[in-house]
Amino acid sequence: MALTVAGPDQAAVEAALGEGFAAMRAVEAAASLFRSDSALARLNRDGVLEAPDPHLLTLLRFALALSVETGGAFDPTVQPLWPVWAQAAVRGERPGFDVLRAALARIGWRRVQVGTDRIVLEPGTALTLNALIQGYAADRVMAALRARGVADAFVDTGEFGAAGAHPDGTPWRLGLADPCHPGAVADVIAPFTGFAATSGDYNMSFSDDRADHHIFDPATGRSPGFLSSVTVTAPTGLVADGLSTACMVLGRERGAALVAAHPGCAVRFTGKD
């Protein structure tokens, strides 16, 4: 995570930075899969969570609404596929049909019941909110900065948000990675304000040709095969992050229609060719 903040009062800027990092930690405590003590990790372990964290509720309700909107192309219950693919990759293999079928039987957004006071998972169900957490964190960090009166800021939580201008007075610019050469920049959004998120086959791959990667089609248990990356700009990081992942599964035509249905959003597709 990186924050760039400009302002005339050093003490106010330092306080804003402190609250920005605190906002990020609060989101991690709610929904990180990398923390065994997070609310999400406890929900996956126990199958039920009483008095759920408000951040977790916000993320999960958005995830389930997007599942409905996309006909299940976006689905937060794909977590059982992760160990299946990770373990097969260690052996230099792809998961077999029977193994995938068993994992798919545990997947489906209808297997989650969300209430204000309680979240319940059907047996065998496990959630991931990795497709949303970085964008949502950018929202929360930016909100914390705004609450401290910061007008000029650039937020990098893994996804991006920007407001105002660079400390030198120039507009913010956002470089987009070339999925074929991830160290290179393929395009630049300038000026950049609002939020942007990118989903791509290069972030975590299970095969050298990136045919198998960390984004799963909930219908097949395999990675969608047509796009290398999708970048969505949106009024919120949560929307940008969710739509970019959904578009990877939906493909160019259906993904463009999804983004067009969300005011203030735009999308860039990069095919595998």
Percent of the chain with pLDDT over 90: 85
pLDDT at 62 over 90: yes
Measured CA to CA, the distance from residue 273 to residue 226 in angstroms comes to 9
Measured CA to CA, the distance from residue 97 to residue 99 in angstroms comes to 6
Contact 132, 238 (CB under 8 A): yes
pLDDT at 181 over 90: no
**Helix pair 54-69, 237-250: axis angle to 10 deg:** 40
pLDDT at 6 over 90: no
Q: List pLDDT tens digits, range 248-265.
A: 999 999 999 999 999 999
Question: What letter would DSSP give residue 160?
Answer: E
> How much is the pTM?
0.95
Angle among Cα 247, 248, 251 to the nearest 5 degrees reads 70
Average pLDDT over residues 147-162: 96
In terms of residues, how long is the chain? 273
Measured CA to CA, the distance from residue 189 to residue 194 in angstroms comes to 11
pLDDT at 208 over 90: no
pLDDT at 210: 84
Phi-psi sector, 47: left (phi>0), alpha (psi -120 to 50), beta: left
pLDDT at 273 over 80: no
pLDDT at 123: 97
Average pLDDT over residues 148-160: 95
Tokens 């597709």 found at? 269
List 152's β-bridge partners, or say none.
6
Residue 15 — very low, low, confident or very high, per pLDDT cuts 50/70/90?
very high
Token pair recorded at residue 236: 């919120």
Tokens 């977590």 found at? 79
CB neighbours (10 Å) of residue 189?
19
Average pLDDT over residues 154-160: 97
Measured CA to CA, the distance from residue 19 to residue 25 in angstroms comes to 10
Percent of the chain with pLDDT over 70: 100
pLDDT at 115: 94
